[in-house]
A and B are shown apart, each in its own frame.
Chain A
Amino acid sequence: MAHDPLAFFTLDRGSASTAAALIAQVEGRFRLLAHAAQPAGLPVDPLLARLAGDVGMAEPGLLPVEGGETSPWTDWPRLEVATRPPRSALLAAATERRLAELEQVVSGAGWAVAGRISPDRTDALEATALALGKGLDLLIVGAAGRPTGEERRALPDLAALLQAVLERRRDLPCLLTGAAAEAIEGWPAARIVLGPAPARTASLAPDPLRSLLRRAAGELARQAGQRPPHVASGRAGAERAPAGPADGRAAFTAAIASLAAVLGQRIDAVDVGAAAGQRVLATPEGLRGQLELVDAALVPEAVLEDDRLADAILAWSTLRGDTFVLRDRVRNLRLWPWRDAAGEGARLRLAAARAALVRLDTAWRLADGGGGNAAADAPADLLVASGGAFAVAPAPAIALALLDTLRRPGGMALAYDHARVLAPLGSLDDEGDRRRLLTDLLDDILVPLGSAVLATGLRASRHPGTLRVRSHGQALEVELVPGAIQVVDLPPGQTGTVELEARDGTWLGMRAKRVAVEVGGGLGGLLVDTRELPLRLPERPERRRDLLAAWERPLWQEDAE
């Protein structure tokens, strides 16, 4: 990282919004001076000019000087990332089992699955109709490295059908994995890529086929050469992108790995945007797992046609009203994610974020199945939230949303990448530069949401247990309430020790009658969660809304405009 000039912008161009930040060196240390966000599609330079102007008005001394005057902001470097629009694949396999394995890898690499072809579910007519569908980027044929007898018998006919499909769709490239490559004879070689077989055992760890798919998505995005259109299908605003901002999700992953090394902690990070959601797990030793999922977008495109998906979002909402009207409101959130962000709109958005986190967590656990690293179940030291999904929610409510959905027993700190700076920092090529900037900026770019202690298995009785918080020589003792969330005021910057004492024991990854956990403060304070794991919400809408509202009330204080 160059030291001159000493100010630079970060830009995170998402599918629905663009976040910009101004960072400058102040007394030898990089600091976040200003940040803002705006809907995608608006020009970026005026946003940067406003950031520079605001800082120039308030603290002109913080900005770099050239010839006795503040240097022009247009000269300051930009660290820029852009979120690629998800690519769409048609999957084919000779058996349903192989198709499922293939889908897990493909969807975990951030691809949208446009259709599935297998001898058991599609005839030649349906398969050809799927291949003629619009918006397809790739046909992927999955087969094991050493196919089973059933697969070997079905592959020749499937290969003949798909070869014919490729003769009709001359614009469609094809990825043949595993033994499917044996069928390559007679196929249009210029459009064929060979890849490894999908892994039979799901794992969060880097996978060769997933890595290949990520590279393929990047290559297709470069060929398309366009900025992501608005997520609204009818409102494609095709703003041309500058030649090569780094991929936002890959950069976010790199930033989390660097952050884990800087803090020496196990870090779990979630990034929920309008086009996809992502989860990253990193330890000081390196990246442990990563999953990018189109279905974990704030409001997935399938919501436009699927009432159950809309209802799954509304199940997290405290909004009252006609179900059909609320479903329409969820669908409008998909069309215009930046609109209707005040009042009830903010609550609906956080409900959608919760549902997205649930989908992400479900896929995360599935992807971790049998991997042997138990990554999905181990609690992290720090849970980081990022993405436009959280942009208009109060910090304490974000903490609760994380705790509601990513439930692991134990204690952890919660933080929020409020200025969306992590991904741009992750785009730096040099690991040393990344770590140095993260070290400087840590306190500025990660808003401390608070700490959470999730202790399950507390039995209802007259005195189920006691919670003691010791901080700065003071002690606070409160009675534990089973099946509740209790908020203890612990401001940002303060640290303390939490002691849980339960008469019949409680579960924080291990059953114990007395447990002590170190915690840090935050805007949401300390959240002690004795609710069940997994969290089960009442079936009846009224009871569910009342319960959600009761949990949320202490953490979502409405201010007058």
Chain B
Amino acid sequence: MNEFDTLLSVLDAWVSKTLVILGGVFYLAGTVGLLRFPDLFTRLHALTKADNLGLGLLCLGLVWQTNSLAIALKLLLIWLLALMASAVSCHLIARYALYEQKTSTKGQS
């Protein structure tokens, strides 16, 4: 029973660490996309998709670490809210940029 417990706790630590590191990798991908992509719209895509996945993996890895249900639920709530806010922000910025391009003199975009 004791060895099983320790094995489980070691597995726990490894799984959560992997998830957190994976989350960090996706954050890195988002930042690289922000800097290297050629156009506003592609940058929007990198930002709102990669970063939220990073946050989600981060939260998932940390859920594994806590003992309290309240904290785990709060972590998931944070991720869901980030998703919602990102979706709306992406949509608004993209529409605004399209409108700006359309109302410029034709042939500029």
Do A and B actually bind?
A: no
Which residues of B line the A interface, CB within 8 A? none
